[in-house]
Amino acid sequence: MSQVRMTRTDIINSVREITEMDSSDVSDAILQLYIRDGYNRIIDLERRWNFLEVSFSMTTTTNQQAYTINDFTADDVREVVSILDQDNARLDYISYDVAEEQFLVSEESFSDPQFYSMWADQIHLFPVPSSAITLLVRGYRAPNDWVTSDTIVDGPDAFDIPLVYYVVSRVYQAQEEAQTAAIYQGSFNEAIAIARKDLTRPPSAAPTVFAGGPRMRRWKGSDWNSYS
């Protein structure tokens, strides 16, 4: 069951109710700092949180190799994990070092791109596109700065209350009430561990594989063949 989402202000108000401290005891600025710290600790647990998934399309320009990601999406993309061309062929990722050795040190080649690399917030395509083609890109964005904007937590509702626990623990820690701080820190750790497990578990529709590796039906051009 979904719950009423919390903003920065909601978290701060909840912290003050629990600790019975007002702004003369601890300022809003310090509480915001604690909120950021707790949220960043959550984000750093996983590189690929599912709530940060994004996809967008981009159209190449003839004879252009590098493409700035933010020219094609409003999201602040931190990582690209897949690029499909208009024939549904997936481009292979290669490191920029390998790309330099294979493509940039020799005479530049032009064709439909088969590889991509990332450098300086740009997607680099190899070989260089010889015509305009549309690519479908999937990746992961950076979290929104919901603390500054005072919007709801950028993430599932399972993060909201644990963030209250984290800030409360830091407040008590600053007051040198170590035992109480440890209790709330433990509540934060436990709640986030449960949320993390739930968010990263395989989808219920995914088949259970007991031995022999995953099985997949494959399209043979006219129909689906048996599992292989």
pLDDT at residue 156 in the model: 96
CA dihedral 69, 74, 76, 77 (to 10 degrees): -50
Residue 105: CB partners within 8 Å, gap ≥ 6? none
Q: Looking at residues 155-172, what average pLDDT do you find?
A: 98
Distance CA 164, CA 174 (A): 16
At 26-44, the pLDDT tens digits run 999 999 999 999 999 999 9
As given in the structure block, the two tokens for residue 58 are 């981009």
At 126-153, the pLDDT tens digits run 999 999 999 999 999 999 999 999 999 9
Long-range contacts of 213-219 (CB under 8 A, 24+ apart): none
At 187-222, the pLDDT tens digits run 999 999 999 999 998 777 666 666 666 655 555 555
Burial environment of residue 215 by CB neighbours within 10 A (0 to 12, 13 to 18, 19 or more): exposed
Distance CA 154, CA 147 (A): 9
Burial 78-88 (b: 16+ CB within 10 A, else e): eebeebbbeee
- Residue 8 — very low, low, confident or very high, per pLDDT cuts 50/70/90? very high
pLDDT at residue 103 in the model: 82
Q: Looking at residues 47-67, what average pLDDT do you find?
A: 95
Q: Looking at residues 169-175, what average pLDDT do you find?
A: 97
Helix 160-174 and helix 28-43, axial crossing angle in degrees, nearest 10: 120
pLDDT at residue 102 in the model: 83
- Residue 223 — very low, low, confident or very high, per pLDDT cuts 50/70/90? low
- Residue 11 — very low, low, confident or very high, per pLDDT cuts 50/70/90? very high
Statement: residue 54 has pLDDT above 90: yes
Q: What is the DSSP string of 137-206?
A: EEEEEPPP-HHHHT-B-SS-GGGHHHHHHHHHHHHHHHTT-HHHHHHHHHHHHHHHHHHHHHHHSPPTTS
Q: Which of 201, 172, 152, 183 is nearest to 46 (CA)?
A: 201
In a 13 Å sphere around the CA of 180, the CA atoms on its Cβ side amount to 12
Please check whether residue 110 is in contact with residue 128, taking contact to mean a CB–CB distance below 8 angstroms: yes
Q: Which of 149, 167, 122, 141 is nearest to 78 (CA)?
A: 141
- 3-class DSSP state of 107: coil
Statement: residue 225 has pLDDT above 70: no
Q: Looking at residues 144-168, what average pLDDT do you find?
A: 97
pLDDT at residue 209 in the model: 61
At 78-101, the pLDDT tens digits run 999 999 999 999 999 999 998 888
At 106-124, the pLDDT tens digits run 556 678 899 999 999 999 9
